[in-house]
Structure 1
Amino acid sequence: MAKNLTLKTLTLALILVLASGLSVFAKEKPEITRHDVQYLDRKISVTVQWQSPNPVVFVRISAGQDQRDIKVDEYDNRRNQDGYSGEVSISLNVDPRLYQDSIPYVIQIEDDIRQKSEVLTGKVKVFTPKEKDDDWGKERLTGPAPAGQPGQQGDIIDKLIGVMERHDTPPTVDKINVALMGGGNVTFSTKAIDDKGLRELTFKVFEANATPAGDQTLTGLGKIWQGTSKTFTLASGTYKVVAQAVDTAGNTSPERSETFTITGGAQPQQAGGLIVSITPQNAITAGGQWRVDGGAWKNSGDNATGLAAGQHTVDFKDITGWTRPAAQTLTIQANQTTTASGAYVEIAQLPQVGTLSVTITPAEAVFASAQWNVDGGAWMNSGDNATNLTGGQHTVNFKDITGWTKPASQTVTIQVNQTTTISGAYTKTSGFLSVAILPQAAIDAGGQWRADNGTWMKSGDNVTLSEGTHTVEFKDAASWVKPAVQTVTIKAGQTSSVSGAYGRLYTIDKDFDEGQMVGVEHQTVKDQLQLSKTSTTLPFIWVPNSNEGTISKVDSRTGAELGRYRTGPGTNGSPSRTTVDLKGNCWVGNRATGTAVKVGLDENGQCVDRNGNGKIDTSTGSQPLAWGDDECVLFEVLLSVGKENTYVPGAYKGPYDSAPGPRGVAIDANNNVWLGTYGTHRFYYVDGSSGRIMKTLDVTSANHGSYGAVVDSAGILWSADIGNRNVLKLNPATGAHNVIRLGHMAYGIGLDKNNHLFVAGWTDNKLSRINTSTGQIEWTKAGESGCRGVAVTNDGDVWVANSFSNTVTRFSNNGDKKASIPGMNHPTGVAVDADGKVWVVNNGDNYIKRIDPATNKIDLSKAVGGSHYGYSDMTGIVARSSTTKLGTWTVLFDSKTDAVKWGSVSWNGPEAQGAVIKVRVRSSNDQKTWSVWEDAVKGSDLKATTGGRYLQAEVTLQVMSGEISPVLNDITVKVKQN
């Protein structure tokens, strides 16, 4: 019998080492780097080591019927260059009779942000205890009698045991390291080793007078234990800590001790005692014991002293043939001894019942909350025991969990006083996921997707996924904004489809260079757009062909005539004063018919498909279309007093009236137009978008007939009166006006960017400068013969067309004559183009000429239409640079996806007070037929823009007041997801 008991102490250890260099640890999840699992005397000892980017807070271990969640102390996480490493050890109770040759176990760890390691599973082999009087094979293990027993034949086992006992060595304990943590808190760390296995390691703390101050007993430690004790909280004083280990054979190590001092410690703890009585006596005789808070085992009636006031846990020792009492939670009162009792029940006296244990596989299903119940009772975890089941048949059911197919219900027969074991295997269910990426241009730029941090996949690829919820993310691509992360639910056997739409991002110089910049630049500050310091405009000049009743649109860089447009039903309208608005459209006054007409810039999408044939019917050269047929001729505004109205060209049949004689045409900062009449002394304020007359101001009281007009940066309207030799200053907000008398004729009129108004005196051959802020005449200088049209270049120089001397004079801003350029034929007007060159229109012939300010010479002459009587803002540079400060950036985005649905446009950039950023868009499938322009609302879905492969976006930066330019940092164009 003694030999059998000795055999029971032999240990079979299974050590699984999962080692790898720290450089390959997971970047995101904690990882189990090593674990040691051993079986010994109805217990499994488990040691777990880890490496984690974040501190580990839980270690979950399930073995046999026992499952533990171990809370890891923060001091057990040791900081290293790759995060945190640590180790814990625990002992779990098992009954080897429930298993044939091995016991399964599951290990998983969790960090402080709830990230879990991969599930680690395995089995540890066990020795099934030898039945009583089982002497099979004994005769094969006999040999000569042991020493000291002559004449007897001994067992070889006795010899082996004798050798083992002679060579057995006690455990060793390394030096104790004392860690003082402040506030009276202290921990102790050491290392204990034994060749057979450590049964327990005890730390005991004593005051200077040898009074016990606390203790801790650690059990189930394996052959090597290295770690840290619990935290002891002590009052100020000097203490001694003693550590001693005991191995599985009962050998005791030499004591290790260290003396230390606590300063600023905790207040003396209020303590009490606990006495636990065990019944019946037979259970005590059989080895029944108790312990408090996992400490040393104590006998019935022993007194555990020095327990801190508060709650403590009492549990009871397993003994063969008895069912131990349940663990109890007791409250210890200070300076009192609490009593409790526990009653063991002999197994022979139990009712005729049995136990059922169900193991669920695989481990992933266990951690996905797979459970079982018996006869529809409470749900239980894998490895749990259902006790007190009556002998006979019972039904085991399994719980539904997402992503898994549960096992079928099983009928099991329970044997009295036995534990029946069964298992149930879950199987994963799966479905499919397909993700489409939009638009094609994003795919070409490298847009991809992946599920659950898996492999990057292309648009339209399929992946097999388990049933349940999964995360889809998208790959970064240069100059694109990737879609947001999506959550998708996969159903078994089905294909789920989702889509992700990338947004085209324009934010660096390379992106902005894809568009056309007019009056904006990214040189002053890189990777953003701001207004240019240099005056500029669109590359067109609009020239009146006064004797033909038409106007011509001319490319200011090549001189090519791009279109010719009728301004009325006949040729007698005498169009003059062609003035260009902020979007490149041209307003012109017909002096002989009392009307004003607006012609749209087709190159900027300003024309309207009135007949619905899918294209813009318009002139593309020197041949005009019939009146009313050209879809770029947008409005005819009738200005006859009492008959004022706006018509679609061709709709009004007459009669026309020459009395109004509109000659003052000026654009304001809102892109609306002021029309001043020479004969009826009125100013009409007209909506630039609809042509509707919004306001009429009668200046008859000033006897002012407008002959030319401009609007300054403060919004004040200035008008020249040739007959009354004065300039009118009109405040549109209030209607207040006054006249400034020049002392010479007032004909052509022009503005610079420094609050100066220049007025030419025609037959008086004078040029005057007025300060628009004060209304004062600053100087009057002599000019050449027949001073008419006036324009100002970016350097501040003033250019004047001289009809009688057939020249153009260049003055400094202070009125000093710098040059006189000949070669004209009765020139009437001058205008500055997008490149800063000066155009001159002749009324003596059909030529227009261009002067290069760098040489003061004519560098281009073109014959266009008839004679040209005009001297207003023919290129729009005054409106864009002096009336307001405005620039545009226009880009064409090719999605490479036909008929794609457009989502939103969003942009970022500071807008100082008085500065604005406006965005409008239009779409097309072929760049020929376009949707109407839609003003975009930042970040909101477009409403009127139809689907199409291309999207053209125009960004306008404008200073309405002040001097600070708005800035465009970036703009993003998005398509809609399917």
Structure 2
Amino acid sequence: MSDLGLRLAVVASLGPLACGDNGGTGSASATTTVTTQSPTTTDPPPTTTQVPTTTAGDTTDGSGGQSSSTSTTSTGAVSVTDGSATGLKFDLGVQPDAGEGCGGGGGGGGMADFSYIWIANSAEGTISKIDTQTLQEMGRYLVRSDSLGSPSRTSVNLSGDVAVANRLGGVTKVYADPEDCQDTNGMPGIQTSNSPAYLPWGVEECIAWYTPFAYTTQRPVAWTSGELDQATCTYKNQKLWTAGGQNNVANSLVVNRLNGDTGAVEDTIPMPDVPIGYFGAYGGAVNQDGDFWFVIYDVVPSHLVRVDAVTLAYDKYVVPPGICPYGFTVDGKGRPWIGSFCQESVRFDPDSQQWATFPVLGYGIQQDALGRMWIADYQLPGVREIDSETLAVGKSIVLPSFSVKGVSIDFYGYVWVVDMNQSAFRVDPVTDQYQSYDGLVGPYTYSDMTGWGLSNVVFPPG
């Protein structure tokens, strides 16, 4: 398929993007590198070109005036009071037909107003909102009052909002669109970050809610789709799954389902017969029915678990011997995939209850609109393509990082790879070129950072 064909295939299935709202709130500061790489090379590319981006801490006034900079630092965050911003620009030069009304070929509206990737800065206790088209950081947010939660997994819903789990307990939801944020701090207007600088807890008003949990290990989060209200072009009744427990405490694993609007815990499912290990539930995702799948990381044997969204009953499956579970996703056919860092990685078929293996080791993993799985291969280092049906290993794209972890697809077909240093790489799977945003602080995210994963299972292509 041509580059144009790939972009159309993906944009035509726009799902978790707001309907009729404004995107980004201001300008940001970052270093963006653009590098050309051959698909057959095994070494990092030799040449890099610096691309100027924009300064941080400016107030958007709708005029489009911004100054050029390549700094990776920023000054203060800004107060946004008018919600003015420029919407997302399609890279096709035209806005393709993505369906009528709210359908959008996937339920999120006929035109995309914003597309973000949300990455946890674990070392800083924050989460970054990065525009997937401009590679500018459009906001950064504390996700726990003490900033000591060590946030990691993120999940983006079909409205475009994010939830992030703190490894040391607690889940936070952040609104994507400042027009949704509430005036809660007593100051006139809406105070929110629009750059890599973040506001103090209690001042930032795009934090929708924070739900504390007394867990010592809490990692997976996964949104359900909710239902589309055609009258308002918004999603209602969205729920959020999470799981946690106590490190190395038998019988302490618990799954919770939260109200997506309020953060209130609506369902609690203890799982005393599922061995928790030290890290507990590690990666999680939902299928088309909203069932919650997750995998246990560091016990032998490892377990894959499914929680039924209606009955709340759960099934557990023993992961094949020799597999070291890490990355996790569910594909468009409802099959869980586990990226493993020893022996090989695996796919599970819930209908036949059969496992299939493929000879790639890696961490984060996600499927694109063409059915290809992309896995962060730390041995390259870089990202590797897998045919989701035949399990044949495809191309490998090397990246200049020693610590690739997360993989997420955006709504334009780009493959994002997040490392543990400072970078998020946006890879074009057609040309094998990549760009990187290098302003992160101890990042660690390999879940559904863009919302594409949820859209892909709810509205599978084809």
TM surpasses 0.5: yes
Structure of greater Rg:
1
Equivalent residue, structure 1, for 2:220: 664
- For 2:343 and 2:141, how far apart are their aligned partners in 1? 34
Asked whether the equivalents of residues 768 and 777 of structure 1 are also in contact (C-alpha less than 8 Å), the reply is: no
Superposition deviation, residue 752 in structure 1: 2.0
Q: CA deviation at 1:522?
A: 8.3
Contact 2:121 2:128 in 1 (8 A): yes
1:758 corresponds to which of 327, 330, 337: 337
Q: Name the CA shift for 1:516/1:532 in 2 (closer, same or farther; >3 Å).
A: farther
Residues 547 and 571, structure 1, Cα contact 8 Å, conserved in 2: no
In structure 2, the partner of 1:673 is 240
Partner in structure 2 of residue 837 of structure 1:
414
Q: Which of the numbers 733, 736, 745 marks the counterpart of 2:313?
A: 736
Q: How far is the alpha carbon of 1:529 from its aligned partner?
A: 6.4
Give the distance between the partners of 2:395 and 2:313, measured in 1 at CA: 39
Write the deviation string for residues 106-147 of structure 1: whole angstroms up to 9, x where unpaired: xxxxxxxxxxxxxxxxxxxxxxxxxxxxxxxxxxxxxxxxxx
Question: Aligned match of 1:637 in 199, 211, 214?
Answer: 211
Q: Who is 1:827 aligned against?
A: 404
- The answer to whether structure 1 residue 617 and structure 2 residue 191 are counterparts is yes
Residue 683 of structure 1 aligns to a residue in which SS?
Answer: strand
Instruction: Give the aligned partner of residue 859 of structure 1.
Output: 434
Q: Within 5 A, what are the aligned runs for 1:660-739?
A: 661-670=217-226, 671-679=238-246, 680-704=252-276, 705-724=280-299, 725-739=302-316
Q: Which residue of 2 is the match for residue 465 of structure 1?
A: none
Determine if contact 1:548/1:866 at 8 Å carries over to the other structure.
Answer: yes
1:532 aligns with 2:109: no
The structure richer in strand per residue is 1
Q: Which residue in the other structure is 2:229 paired with?
A: none
What whole-Å deviation, never above 9, does each CA across 1:683-727 have from its counterpart, x for those lacking one? 111100011111111112222431111110022211011123221
Higher relative contact order (CA closer than 8 Å, sequence separation 6+): 2
Tell me, what secondary structure is at the counterpart of 2:273?
Answer: helix
Relative to structure 1, the CA distance from residue 765 to residue 841 in structure 2 (aligned partners, 3 Å threshold; closer, same or farther) is farther
1:747 corresponds in structure 2 to 326
Query: Once the two structures are superposed, what CA deviation does each residue of 1:475-524 show, in whole Å capped at 9, x if it has no partner?
Result: xxxxxxxxxxxxxxxxxxxxxxxxxxxxxxxxxxxxxxx9999xxx9848
AA in 1 matched with 2:275: N
Match of 1:771 in 2: 349
Distance 1:795 1:533, change over 3 A: farther
CA-to-partner distance for each residue in 1:145-190, whole Å, 9 max, x for gaps? xxxxxxxxxxxxxxxxxxxxxxxxxxxxxxxxxxxxxxxxxxxxxx
From 785, 788, 793, give the equivalent of 2:363.
788
2:378 aligned partner? 803
In 2, Cα distance between equivalents of 1:614 and 1:759: 48
Q: How does 1:103-114 map to 2 (within 5 A)?
A: none
Q: Percent identity?
A: 27
C-alpha contact 2:88 2:133 (8 A) present in aligned 1: no
2:182 is matched with: 608
The residue type paired with residue 122 of structure 2 is: S
Answer whether contact 1:766 1:782 (CA < 8 A) is retained.
yes
Match runs of 1:7-406 below 5 Å = none
Q: How many residues align?
A: 344
Cα offsets for 1:359-385 (capped at 9, x unmatched): xxxxxxxxxxxxxxxxxxxxxxxxxxx
2:369–2:456 Cα contact (<8 Å) kept: no
The TM-score, its normalising length taken from structure 1, stands at 0.34
Structure 2 counterpart of 1:879, from 450, 454, 462: 454
Amino acid at match of 1:552: S
Does structure 2 retain, via aligned residues, the 8 Å contact 1:522–1:529? no
**What's 2:166 paired with?**
590
Q: 1:722 to 1:716 in 2, by over 3 A?
A: same
In the TM superposition, what is the alpha-carbon distance from 1:571 to its structure 2 partner? 3.8
Gap change, CA 1:528 and 1:565, over 3 Å in 2:
closer
User: How much has 1:614 moved relative to structure 2?
Assistant: 4.3
- Alignment match of 2:139 (pick from 559, 563, 567): 563
With normalisation by structure 2, the TM-score equals 0.69
Show structure 1 runs of 5+ residues with no match. Answer: 1-513, 641-657, 887-962, 965-978
* Alpha-carbon distance in structure 2 between the residues aligned to 1:833 and 1:530: 19
Deviation of 1:625 (Å)? 0.6
CA distance in 2, matches of 1:717, 1:848: 27
Q: Is there any run of 5+ residues in structure 2 with no aligned partner, and where?
A: 1-86, 227-237, 247-251
What's the CA shift for 1:805? 3.9
- Residue type of the alignment partner of 1:766: E
Distance 1:788 1:528 in 2: 38
Displacement of 1:880: 2.2
Distance 2:343 2:427 in 1: 22
Hey, which bits of structure 1, 4+ residues long, moved more than 6 A? 514-517, 533-537
Amino acid at match of 1:819: K
Question: Aligned in 2, Cα 1:761/1:522: closer, same or farther, shift over 3 Å?
Answer: closer
* CA distance in 2: counterparts of 1:685 and 1:575, whole angstroms: 19
Deviation of 1:627 after TM superposition, in Å, equals 1.6
Question: Counterpart of 1:880 in 2: which secondary structure?
Answer: helix
